[in-house]
Structure 1
Amino acid sequence: MQPGADIDGFTIGERVHRGGMATLWTVTHPGINVPLLMKVPLVSEGEDPAAIVSFEMEQMILPRLSGPHVPACFGTGDFERQAYVVMERIPGQTLYKRLGDLPLPYEEARGIAGRIASALASLHRQHVIHHDIKPSSIMFRERGEAVLIDFGLSHHNHLPDLLQEEFRLPYGTAPYMAPERLNGVRDDPRSDLFSLGVLLYFFTTGVRPFGETESLRGMRRRLWRDPYPPRKLRADYPPWLQEIVLRCLEIDPAARYPTAAQLAFDLAHPERVKLSARSQRLNRDALGTVWRRRFNRGAIQPQPKSNVAAQLASSPIVLVALDTVDGSEALNEAIRVTAEQVLSTSPSARLACVNVLKLNRVAIDRTLDEQGQNRHVDRLVRLQHWARPFGLDESRLTVHVLEAFDPAAAILEFAAVNLVDHIIVGARQNSMMRSLLGSVSAKVASEAPCSVTVVRPSRLAAQGEDGSTPDLATGEAEITPPGLF
């Protein structure tokens, strides 16, 4: 590798980095107008054989990935001539450059972790577990999206796991490695959430939760020993943030967030985080608990999932868009039946009940209704009442009242920002407003970034006592009754 050399049409520039397993070179290509990097494995005498295997994994995985959260891949070369991967060069520095600023303000750290969680959600949907989440593996685009790099230790559910097949020891960065990795489990996406929990703990306290140990013996302690709660280190640590961090750092993967999308949801809505005993803890687990974990390993060993897709499918974020005005009972009951069917097949699903308080474009919006009640609070209470029969744990249910001029746009934006997997929305009934303004449910169904179920009540159930059909989509403009749409 020399500057000016040509490899498969790529012209080699300068070497910009030499790591433990590969070097990075700038390259150009006459048909590609974006900045490029060529990654070349270290294969000389005395190099770690794992460097070759991990490079093979990256060669297989990176070209199969897409989206803003990964660098685009522009070519690969095999080992017969010159092994390489050419990828998009992301401008800027990795998150590693922020270590000198630690601890970060809580809000800034929350925003960073939320963007990383969104990136992990996208990666997991593409059947990939990163397995090396750490500051030096994370960059950010100018638009703000987190970009994950370095896929040499990753697991792809549809590809051979060469690291698992050829090596018995776990490969990764010790301070960030999930405990189940020490038991040989590589196909559970919740391992990445543990690593993100370590990063969030570190960035908000300035201390790594498990220290700096690199020995396998030292790492095995995390199979039975939990870290000090952040509130032990910082008295002003927000309870909602400790709840999130300690849930990510649970030893048993089943006690963590089920998906990165659900973690991102909590990070985006800290005021909605359901606080448990975790949020107030000041001390580590009692010694009796620690000894039971250590000497009864068979009872706590995590069981690998059959595949990444199965884990995600059992834990979707479901958005239910509801009308809260009188006369909507038939449709809301039909929506309840549909939601029950979805939840029955998804044991770890999260339900977000949403109502849109439509704003007037001309008239002044009033906070109180005709009875003097706060409209926003009244709708929150109605949503909670509607969802109560599901009997969901508080950590699996949130209610939201959105204020917007365009209800469909508000629902679509909420779904996109919060990584919603499934929207359940009621359809408008026949009305003049529907013909004039169009259907909100149709717009949601046509533009949503996820699956959509449009629900209609039976014709008889939808009719009122006078035989009329309620208009469930006319909103709160002055000429229409108040409601969702």
Structure 2
Amino acid sequence: MAKFTVQPGVVIDGFVLGECVHRGGMATLWSACREDIADPVLMKIPRVSEGEDPAAIVSFEMEQMILPKLTGIHVPRCYAAGDFVRQAYVAIERIPGKTLYPRLEELPLPYEEARVIALKIADALSDLHRQNVIHHDIKPSSILFRPSGEAVLVDFGLSHHNQLPDLLQEEFRVPYGTAPYMAPERLLGVRDDPRSDLFSLGVLLYFFTTGVRPFGESETLAGMRRRLWRDPYPPRQLKKDYPPWLQEVVLRCLEIDPAWRYPTASQLAFELAHPEQIKLTARSERLKRDPLSTVWRRRFNGNPIQPRKPSAVAAQLAASPILAVAVDLTEGPAEMNEALRVTVARILKTSPLARLACLNVLKLGRVTIDRTLDEEGNNKHVSRLVTLKHWASPLKLDESRLTVHVLESVDPAGAILEFAEANHVDHIVIGARQNSLVRSLLGSTSAKVASEASCTVTVVRPARQATPSGTRDTPDDARSMPAI
């Protein structure tokens, strides 16, 4: 049991407590400092007095296990943790600024501002899921932003780590979470699906753009269970000027069956980063909820959520990669473009949930003034977008899985690398430049991309032409390598 009286001035494992900055239902937060840590520290201490919810202790144990394993800009740094033998606590980085909670007084927010906020949260979730963690408590008070703009996720007491024991699952049968944001499958005991976080983000985006919670304010379990069969009112019924692309995103996140949502947070972030290329479906135009016949079928004909075989979070992310292919539309020979298409088709065949981004770089002069029109008076940028779509058409991809992008830059390799980093690209396919004086002097774009990318890169060479004797050299179709 705790041997400390928690109050300002108390020293716990070298940390000197300051003021109490927040008293929550499961823990209190204190400012703290330690001589060897220059940055501000926040100490989280669980509530363990008589009458407190036992789940608070289990939740704190989960946070103690998970926080030290997390890294990156989207989570607070964990400095130390104490056990329940002396004094349970976690000491973490204190992020300057406020959470999203005070913004509730300003709702609804402008659509563009809400889009940017949701994009930053989706980026943070993408990073978290890649670390095998599902947050399970995405809500305004669990999200704040660094001065540099990145979203930071806090409060991991309800989280699930794919490689650690799930104490909440093992010890309790009641789903814990914040009712308005809880995904339907959570009510059925499912805690290992990262798409649950996308549902919660959809709730937040709906709320921030309409000022109304999609499922009301009900906190009862019976009220929450209605979302297993009842969809929310489409935002366009509430706001006539609601953008169709935004309703498409929100309603896809709020699908009852996780299989109908975005497969990964990375793909959701990609959509939010490129709203002009979102494939609109019937969701985008809906003005009414599903008819009662559909609701009754969901409610009385069995579980509407399709069963899913247990799988690792990492395995699910690997099945839904973002693939980028760099296509040279000006100097690239037909053989190269065909080799790129064949390689991309092979990769897509193994990943049926993958998204493909077709890239072309419109190279700008370093000192010259670039013309936007070609010799025939056509806009170069638009012409290349059309040509990229034509290049991709033989792949026969659904439009929801395909986007095309013309990047303008003096440095093609740098533009490709920047796009890949900003859009969570998992795999880049690029053609190797043929032997030339330019390549010998400056190096190739593909070599720079392969050496500097933070994802897998496949460098493609076209099949060699037949030799004079009629034989054909064995082609070096593609060389795949992880980035160095």
Which TM-score band (shorter chain)? Answer: over 0.9
Contact residue 427 and residue 454 of structure 1 kept, 8 A? yes
CA distance 1:461–1:118, change in 2 (3 Å): farther
Q: 1:166 aligns with which of 171, 174, 184?
A: 171
| 1:397-451 C-alpha deviation (Å, 9 max, x unpaired) | 0001111111111111111111111111111111001112221111111211211
* Contact preservation (8 Å) 1:54, 1:153: yes
Shift in CA distance, 327/12, structure 1 to aligned 2, threshold 3 Å:
closer
Q: How far apart are 1:304 and its partner, in Å?
A: 5.2
CA contact (8 A) 1:330 1:457 kept: yes
* 1:231-246 map, 5 Å: 231-246=236-251
Q: What SS does the aligned partner of 1:198 have?
A: helix
**Which residue of 2 is the match for residue 361 of structure 1?**
366
Structure-2 separation of matches of 1:362 and 1:301: 58
Q: In the TM superposition, what is the alpha-carbon distance from 1:14 to its structure 2 partner?
A: 1.4
Measured after TM superposition, the shift of residue 170 of structure 1 is 0.4
Q: Structure 1 CA distance, aligned partners of 2:116 and 2:466?
A: 46
Between the two proteins, what is the percent identity of the paired residues?
75
1:48 to 45, 50, 53: 53
Q: Per-residue deviation at 1:373?
A: 2.7
1:76-475 to 2 correspondences below 5 Å: 76-298=81-303, 300-303=305-308, 305-325=310-330, 328-460=333-465
SS in 2 for 1:284: coil
**1:17–1:462 distance in 2 versus 1, CA, 3 Å:** farther
> Which deviates the most, 449-458 or 46-55?
449-458
Match of 1:62 among 59, 67, 70: 67
Match in the other structure for 2:29: 24
Q: Tell me, yes or no, if structure 1 residue 75 matches structure 2 residue 80.
A: yes
Q: What is aligned with 2:8?
A: 3
Matched letter for residue 44 of structure 2:
K
The answer (yes or no) to whether the contact 1:330–1:461 under 8 Å persists in 2 is: no
Rounded to whole Å, the distance in 1 between the matches of 2:55 and 2:452 is 45
Q: Give SS of 2:465's match.
A: helix
Aligned CA distance change for structure 1 residues 163 and 258 (closer, same or farther; 3 Å): same
Alignment partner, residue 481 of structure 2: none
Pairwise CA distance, 1:302: 4.1
Which whole-Å CA distance do the structure 2 matches of 1:326 and 1:453 have between them? 19
Please give the secondary structure, in 1, of the residue aligned with 2:415.
Answer: helix
461 and 83 in structure 1: CA distance in 2 versus 1, 3 angstrom threshold: farther
Please report how far the alpha carbon of residue 272 of structure 1 lies from its aligned counterpart in structure 2 after TM superposition.
0.6
For 1:342, what is the secondary structure of its paired residue? helix
* Structure 2 counterpart of 1:394, one-letter code: E
Relative distance call for 1:20 and 1:327 in structure 2 (3 A) is closer
In the alignment, is the contact (CA less than 8 A) between 2:327 and 2:359 conserved in 1?
yes
User: Bigger CA drift: 341-350 or 372-381?
Assistant: 372-381
Structure 1 stretches of at least 4 aligned residues deviating more than 4 Å after TM superposition: none
Gaps of 5+ in 1: 464-485
Letter in 1 for 2:83: D
Equivalent position SS for 1:201: helix
* Deviation for aligned residue 1:458: 2.3
CA distance in 1 between counterparts of 2:307 and 2:270 reads 25
Partners in 1 of 2:323 and 2:302 — Cα distance?
35
Q: TM-score, normalised by structure 1?
A: 0.93
Query: Separation in 2 of the partners of 1:73 and 1:362?
Result: 48
Task: Tell whether the 8 Å contact from 2:218 to 2:224 is kept in structure 1 after alignment.
Answer: yes
Distance in 1 of aligned mates of 2:419 and 2:324: 9
1:266-322 CA distance string (max 9 Å, x none)? 111110111011001100001111111111224534425411111100101111000
Aligned to 1:473: none
CA contact (8 A) 2:143 2:152 kept: yes
CA–CA distance in structure 2, aligned partners of residues 191 and 289 of structure 1: 23
The 5 Å alignment of 1:30-41 reads 30-41=35-46
**Corresponding pairs, count:** 463
Cα 1:461–1:439 change in 2 (3 A) is: farther
- Say if 1:212 and 1:153 are closer, same or farther in 2 by CA, change over 3 A: same
TM superposition score normalised by structure 2: 0.94
Secondary structure, in 3 states, of the residue corresponding to 1:459? coil
Q: Which amino acid aligns with 1:248?
A: C
Give the Å deviation of 1:10: 1.1
Question: RMSD of the TM alignment (CA)?
Answer: 1.4
Structure 2 CA distance for aligned equivalents of residues 390 and 374 of structure 1: 26
Specify the alignment match of 2:19 in structure 1: 14
CA shift in 2, pair 1:321/1:152, >3 Å: same
Answer yes or no: is the 8 Å Cα contact 1:258–1:315 preserved in 2.
yes
**Partner of 2:40: helix, strand, or coil?**
strand
Q: Deviations over 1:71-123 (max 9, x none)?
A: 00000011111111000000111000100000000000000000000000000
Mapped to 2, the partners of 1:462 and 1:453 lie a distance apart of 26
The 1:293–1:462 alpha-carbon spacing in structure 2 relative to 1, beyond 3 Å, is farther
For residues 140-198 of structure 1, what are the alpha-carbon distances to aligned partners after superposition, in whole Å with 9 as ceiling and x for unaligned? 00000000000000000000000000000100000000000011100000000000000
Structure 2 counterpart of 1:368, one-letter code: L
